[in-house]
Structures are given as C-alpha cells and as structure tokens.
Amino acid sequence: MIEPPVRSAAHRADLDPPERHPEAPAPGTVLPSHYADCVGCGPNHPTGLRMVTTAGPDVTVTGTFTVTAAHQGAPGLAHGGVLATALDEVLGGLSWLLRKPMVTGRLETDYIRPVPVGTTLALAARCVGFSGRRMYAKGQGRLDTPDGPIAIRAAAVFVVVGVEHFTEHGADMTAEQVHDYEVNP
C-alpha cells in the first residue's frame, strides 16, 4: 500500500510577509553555487544541470536551464523529474535572499507544455511568506525567454533548518565548509 502525501503547498492568507535580508545579494547578482557537487548548480558535477541563478528584487530569484539530450524522458523532450529539479534549485535559491538555510518539504509541479531539447527555460521563483519554520514559495518556467509561454509552474514549502541538519544527516562537512555555510548559507 502506498500512502498519498498528506500535506499541501497551498498557503493560508495570513502568512508573515517575506523579508529580504539586509545583507542579501543586490538584485542582478549572480548567486554562487552553494555546493560544487550539487546536481542543480554544481560546477564539479559531471552530468548536473549547471544552472545559473540570479538575485532579483524583493525575495525573488531567476535562473536558466538549457535542456540537452542528457535530460530527455521521451525522444526530444525533457523529463518531468529533471524539470522539477530545475524548479527546486531556483526556489531553493531564495535562501540566499532570506539568509536562512532551508530544505524542500514539498514541491508541487504543473506541467503545462512539453519542453523540447534545445530549450533554455527562463525560471523564476518568489517567496510568498512564512508560517513558523515553513517558507511558502511559487515558481515557474517559460520557454526560451522571460516572456515566453509558460511550460511549468510550482508551489513549494521549504522548511527552515539549522546547519546540524546537514552535519547530522549528510556526509561529513569540514570545519571550513560549516564556517562558509554559516557565513553564507
């Protein structure tokens, strides 16, 4: 028996509004990769998505992801799970503007148009607000340009965690990595 998810990314109207951290990177700043081996943004990942994300105004992030033959599900078309990964990455980038470490709790994705190999998706994410440790966000991806047709939409809940989430559950981090992370989560 496989139980369905019990939660939803739909948010109540009374969320605490998003607050851009005073030390958030200025709008237009290209965000660094948060981890060199990350499948979404890591430059060292041999087959990763190699996404580049940029801080926007308020609590927003934009990004691009070019779909290659390595990302196919059906012949010539992007795999839905790969597209969800791209949305996860641009939504996760909101951490840089909030300066809070967080992990994806829930990611709901609408697939609206097929995304052919060769497309560069123009992705965007916006923080909607907070309820306790829960950060609600929405995201979308358009075909080729920021005003192109919408291909994918997402609603997500990220959960704010401490650095111990990564040190306790993940691979060993060096003291230097923990320090870097605390300074620049």
Ligand X SMILES: CCCCCCCC/C=C\CCCCCCCC(=O)SCCNC(=O)CCNC(=O)[C@H](O)C(C)(C)COP(=O)(O)OP(=O)(O)OC[C@H]1O[C@@H](n2cnc3c(N)ncnc32)[C@H](O)[C@@H]1OP(=O)(O)O
Output the CA torsion 72→143→146→54 (10° steps). 0
Best CA proximity match to 163, nearest among 100, 87, 90, 95: 100
Select the residue interacting with ligand X from 63, 93, 129, 139 (CB under 6 A): 93
20 forms part of the interface with ligand X (CB under 6 A): no
Smaller CB distance to ligand X: residue 153 or 165?
Answer: 165
Smaller CB distance to ligand X: residue 115 or 155?
Answer: 155
Window 138-167: residues binding ligand X (CB under 6 A): 157, 159, 161, 166
Structure tokens at 169: 């559950």
* 37-76 footprint of ligand X as x/- string (CB under 6 A): ---x------------------------------------
Output the CA torsion 112→42→22→133 (10° steps). 60
Window 100-139: residues binding ligand X (CB under 6 A): 101, 103-106, 132-134
In terms of phi and psi (left: phi > 0; alpha: psi -120 to 50; beta: otherwise), the region of 9 is alpha
Structure tokens at 27: 């709008």
CB of 76 to ligand X, least distance (A): 27
How many other C-beta atoms can be found within 10 angstroms of the C-beta atom of residue 58? 13
CB of 75 to ligand X, least distance (A): 28
- Give the SS3 label for residue 69: helix
Select the residue interacting with ligand X from 63, 92, 129, 139 (CB under 6 A): 92
Smaller CB distance to ligand X: residue 88 or 141?
Answer: 88
Residue with tokens 């916006």: 126
Structure tokens at 3: 């139980």
Select the residue interacting with ligand X from 84, 111, 113, 181 (CB under 6 A): 181
Structure tokens at 157: 């809940």
Q: Interface with ligand X by CB under 6 A: which residues?
A: 7, 34-35, 40, 88-89, 92-93, 95-96, 101, 103-106, 132-134, 157, 159, 161, 166, 173, 177, 181, 185
